[in-house]
Amino acid sequence: MAGSRLWFLLLLAAAFAGPATTVWPWPQYIQTSDCHYTIFPHSFQFKYDVRSAAQSGCSVLDEAFQRYRDLLFGSESWHPPAPTGKQHTLEKHSLVVLVVTPGCEQLPSLESLENYTLTINNEQSFLLSETVWGALRGLETFSQLVWRSPEGTFFINKTEIEDFPRFPHRGLLLDTSRHYLPLPSILDTLVRPDTIIQVWRAEVPVSYLKELDKITQAGFRALLSAPWYLNRISYGPDWEDFYMVDPLSFEGSPEQKALVIGGEACMWGEYVDSTNLVPRLWPRAGAVAERLWSNKVVTDLDFAFKRLAHFRCELLRRGVQAQPISVGYCEQEFERT
């Protein structure tokens, strides 16, 4: 039932050509419409619900509120565009955030709950999460829902999202032993992505599946990395190969598969330094990120291509020098007139 519901939502998303259908990674549940609301940057604010366990003073969220304001609207003053004759009467002046669990975790852990619910409708703009890290995931999704008209007005569509990660561990391995990587170049790659055995072996294309079977049979938890070596490049859309990997496609019991806690994209450093680290990493790492976050049935490459191309443009807008995944262009490459 859950799988058929998700397939219906994917078909519904394909029918809409709106900004809400470009979210990356794709949420577990999303419902949107062409009804949209105006956002005025000079008056819009992120704010805590009075019932929220996290309040002003939680640096993780306080800094995120400011960071996303700057990402969405820029740090300079904003002047409304001249009226075009078409009036949009519904406006959104804030996103209200409610965190259920007390505490302000500075770093996530395997136990961190990252689920959130995001509601944008006539009555409210509301982000509900169990922890501050769920709120951070919701803020990123919210930032991708906001779009700008050719006249310069900001909008957001009526949307309902319920989201959580498929795997708790989603990581990036950076090899700093072969070349010196300055700290700023490492930080620039972070776009806001008991014994654990990480499976690196990949002499044979599917050997990692046998390794996962052996490791989980022995009772160890496992991370998958073997099919996600981003330092290896080839002509064409190699992101598709990363995207189509399913960490649980090995033969094994449900108990074994529960021991696979996620995966990591790897950037080994034999031929990578600060000059090519970021463009080689992004947006290809996004393919791994969605595979580890979204439902296992989200595998349509055409649907993924459109969203990944848009995500790449969003990265460029944010100052991340992400390489293209095919022919095309980004809106910000042309000056607005």
Q: Which two tokens stand for residue 168?
A: 């708790």
Tell me how far apart the alpha carbons of residues 93 and 98 are, in angstroms, rounded to a whole number. Answer: 17
| pTM listed for this prediction | 0.85
Tell me how far apart the alpha carbons of residues 221 and 145 are, in angstroms, rounded to a whole number. Answer: 36
Name the helix (H) or strand (E) containing 231. none
Angle between helices 59-73 and 132-145 (to 10 degrees): 10
pLDDT value for 11 = 42
Tell me how far apart the alpha carbons of residues 260 and 225 are, in angstroms, rounded to a whole number. Answer: 12
Tell me how far apart the alpha carbons of residues 331 and 212 are, in angstroms, rounded to a whole number. Answer: 43
Tell me how far apart the alpha carbons of residues 41 and 114 are, in angstroms, rounded to a whole number. Answer: 28
Q: Which two tokens stand for residue 320?
A: 């991340």
Closest CA to 198 of 220, 179, 230, 166: 220
Mean pLDDT (10-residue bins), the chain, 337 residues: 45 47 96 94 96 97 96 69 50 95 92 97 96 98 94 94 97 76 60 48 64 92 94 93 96 96 93 92 97 98 97 94 94 67
CA-CA-CA-CA dihedral for 149, 75, 77, 95, to nearest 10: 60
pLDDT value for 72 = 95
Tell me how far apart the alpha carbons of residues 257 and 331 are, in angstroms, rounded to a whole number. Answer: 42
Q: Which domains does the chain have, with CATH numbers?
A: 2-80+87-163 (3.30.379.10), 169-333 (3.20.20.80)
Q: Residues with Cβ < 8 Å from 107, sequence gap 6 or more?
A: none
